[in-house]
A and B are shown apart, each in its own frame.
Chain A
Amino acid sequence: MEWRRKHVLGLADFSAEEIEFVIDTARSMEDVLTRDIKKVPALRGKTVVNLFFEASTRTRTSFEIAGKRLSADVVNFSSAVSSVAKGETLLDTAKNINAMMPSIIVMRHPASGAAQFLSRYVSCSVINAGDGSNEHPTQGLLDLYAIIKSKNKVKGLKVAIIGDILHSRVARSNLHSLGRMGADLWLCGPGTLVPKEMGRSGATVTNDIREAVRDADVVMMLRIQLERQKTAYFPSLREYARNYGLDSEVFSLARNDAIIMHPGPINRGVELSDELADSSHSIILNQVESGVAIRMALLYLLAGGHNAAR
């Protein structure tokens, strides 16, 4: 196939073939990352703008490293220190950045649909680095890639995603990526955070963590977004940790070779015990590593000749 997408806004409309194409490209990028000189000239002369309206260390740094490994010029804008703090609208910020002629804008924004909106008003490519509770497509792809690297497949694996499914763009993107590739998906959390309608995506919904973890190949813990917990979705953090935190006792129900994932940053002792986070079952750092390769792959694919004018 040929890569024909200009933007990566979400995984909802990604075909299995496109997902495989990205994974294959990421494998070749990983060849670059294992060498002494971890840089190739592929994106020389291109500019990647990181436009972050929400706090992020991992994703922004990952995109920055990915861009630099491909020899692109990477410029970081973060809302706290930009004109956004002076009241500029998203559209004005976008138009101004577009006028500086970047090749690709990578954006994180607290509003769902912000990336889609941006893509209509700029002439360059847009990569969604997380929009509200909608999607986080690069996370969905890197999680899939990390699972494939660890398990050599994803089809038929039981994958339990546990935590605040309702607000999680990570869960939503993973539902698309892992679902499309044939994983047996389980969603688990308190009733207030796992809407029953999520079952329509083909995943099995449960409020019992033991049922979700039993015989699982992959246990993916989501971060309890303390900053988004102004409304009371559960009585207390302690109660949440007791019912939906992963510790050795619950994890022992999973398959012996099960892996633990977490998109970070971890609330240690809340959704994941210290012991498990640092255990040999944890592939959390491998996820971070996979993220650079996946983001290099997408930057490379979007910087194609159809954007040559930029």
Chain B
Amino acid sequence: MKKSGKKLILDTKGVDRVLSRLTHEILEKNKGAEEIVLVGICSGGVPLSRVIQDKIRSIEGVEVPSGYVDITLYRDDLSRAGYQPRLKRTEIPFSIDEKKVILVDDVLFTGRTIRAAMDALIDFGRPKNIQLAVLIDRGHRELPIRADYVGRNVPTARAETVEVLVGGETEEWKVVLREPPPGKGK
């Protein structure tokens, strides 16, 4: 790791290649795009699910429904957090009944976010199944949850952070592993 305490894991090209493979895996496992709907987890999963939607369109020529879910109201640590987190929006403008829901997030860590997202989804309907696609799996699970599609496995220390940054007109991506700030435990 460099002196700055930062390490680049993936750049725009890298993210694009990873998402291409991930999309192919989703289509292969589900034998096409039929019955597939995409749901991104706010905020990190939302731009990723849009890219996957684009890729499915160019590969299969179909437009799969895509929505997003904010899991804040389903968090298991609400009364532990210092102040209530700002809520984001949820929009799933289609029925998920009997659909294969691909849940999309940027980083899979403890698994608690995914647990909350699954609870939220089940309040929307009864999907045929829920599959999980993540860009980065950094380990340290606290719940029995695993991803069906993983972009990149990144071994990390617990106190490190993984940031997935996307911005700019050209949608530039950057995945960065950051050391904990000095003074913070391991």
Q: A37-B124, A42-B74 are in contact. Are A305 and B89 (CB under 8 A)?
A: no
Whether the Cβ atoms of B87 and A4 lie closer than 8 Å is: no
The answer to the question of B1 belonging to the interface, with a C-beta cut-off of 8 Å to chain A, is no
Structural contact, B119 and A41, CB atoms closer than 8 A = yes
Residues on the A chain within 8 Å of B87, using CB: 24-25, 28-29, 300
Contacts of B119 in A (CB 8 A): 41
Interface pair B80/A308, CB less than 8 Å apart: yes
Residue contact A31 to B82, C-beta cutoff 8 Å: no
Return the chain B residue nearest A31 by Cβ.
B90
With the chains together, A46 CA to B79 CA distance in Å?
Answer: 10
With both chains docked as a complex, state the minimum distance between the C-beta of A257 and any C-beta of chain B, in angstroms: 27
Q: Are B74 and A39 in contact (CB under 8 A)?
A: no
Q: Which residues of B contact A32 (CB under 8 A)?
A: 73, 90
Cβ-defined contact, A306 with B91, below 8 A: no
B70 touches which one: A28, A46, A70 (CB < 8 A)? A28
Of residues 27 to 82 in A, which have CB atoms within 8 Å of B's CB atoms? 27-29, 31-32, 35-37, 39-42, 45-46, 70
Whether the pair A306, B83 counts as a contact (CB closer than 8 A) is yes
Is the CB–CB distance between B73 and A304 below 8 Å? no
Chain A nearest CB: distance from B52 CB in Å? Answer: 23
CA distance A305 to B125 in the complex (A): 31
User: What's the least CB distance linking A275 to chain B, in Å?
Assistant: 36
Are B123's CB and A27's CB within 8 A? Answer: no
Chain B residues with CB under 8 A of A24: 86-87
**Tally of chain A residues near chain B (CB < 8 A):** 29
The answer to whether A308 and B124 touch across the interface, beta carbons within 8 angstroms, is no
Docked CA distance A306–B90 (Å): 26
Contacts of A70 in B (CB 8 A): 73
B82, B83, B88, B89: most-surrounded residue (chain A CB, <10 A): B83
Please name all residues of chain A whose beta carbon is closer than 8 Å to the beta carbon of B143 when the two chains form the complex.
Answer: none
Q: Is A21 an interface residue (CB 8 A)?
A: yes
Whether B81 lies near A304 (C-beta < 8 A) is: yes
Cβ-defined contact, B91 with A305, below 8 A: no
Choose among A31, A36, A45, A300 the residue that contacts B84 (Cβ–Cβ < 8 A). Answer: A300
Kindly state the separation between the CA atoms of A42 and B70 in the bound complex, as whole angstroms: 12
Does the CB pair A305–B80 fall under 8 Å? yes
Interface size on B, residues (CB 8 A): 23
Bound-state Cα–Cα, A307 to B81, Å = 10
What's the Cα separation between A37 and B120 when bound, in Å? 10
Q: Could you give, for residues 48-90 of chain B, a 1 whenever the CB lies within 8 Å of some chain A CB and a 0 otherwise?
A: 0000000000000000000000101111001111111011111
Taking a contact as CB atoms closer than 8 A, the residue among A35, A42, A304 that contacts B83 in the complex is A304
Write out the residue numbers on chain A whose beta carbons fall within 8 Å of the beta carbon of B79. Answer: 45-46, 303-305, 307-308
Among B103-124, those with CB < 8 Å from A are: 119-120, 123-124
A27:B89 contact, CB within 8 angstroms: yes
Q: How far is the CA of A49 from the CA of B78 in the complex (A)?
A: 20
Most chain A CB atoms below 10 A, which of B86, B88, B120, B125: B86
Docked-complex contact B86 and A25, CB < 8 angstroms: yes
- Say yes or no: B82 contacts A28, CB within 8 Å: no
In the complex where A27-B89, A28-B89, A31-B91 touch, is A3 in contact with B84 (Cβ < 8 A)? yes
Residues B82 and A305 in contact, CB atoms below 8 Å apart: yes
Tell me how far the C-beta of B78 lies from the nearest C-beta in chain A, rounded to whole angstroms: 6
Could you tell me the distance in whole angstroms from the C-beta of B91 to the nearest C-beta in chain A? Answer: 7
Cβ of A2 within 8 Å of any chain B Cβ, yes or no, is yes
Q: A37-B123, A39-B123, A303-B79 are in contact. Are A21 and B86 (CB under 8 A)?
A: yes
Contacts A32-B90, A303-B79 supplied; 13 other A-B pairs, CB < 8 Å: A28-B73, A28-B87, A29-B87, A31-B89, A31-B90, A40-B120, A41-B119, A42-B74, A303-B78, A304-B79, A304-B82, A305-B80, A305-B83
Contacts A/B (CB < 8 Å), 23 sampled? A3-B83, A24-B86, A24-B87, A28-B87, A28-B88, A31-B90, A31-B91, A32-B73, A32-B90, A35-B123, A35-B124, A36-B124, A40-B74, A40-B120, A41-B74, A42-B72, A42-B75, A42-B78, A301-B84, A304-B82, A305-B84, A306-B83, A308-B80
Which 8 A-B pairs give the minimum distances between C-beta atoms?
A28-B87, A40-B73, A304-B84, A42-B73, A37-B123, A31-B90, A2-B83, A305-B81
Interface residues of B (CB under 8 A from A): 70, 72-75, 78-84, 86-91, 119-120, 123-125
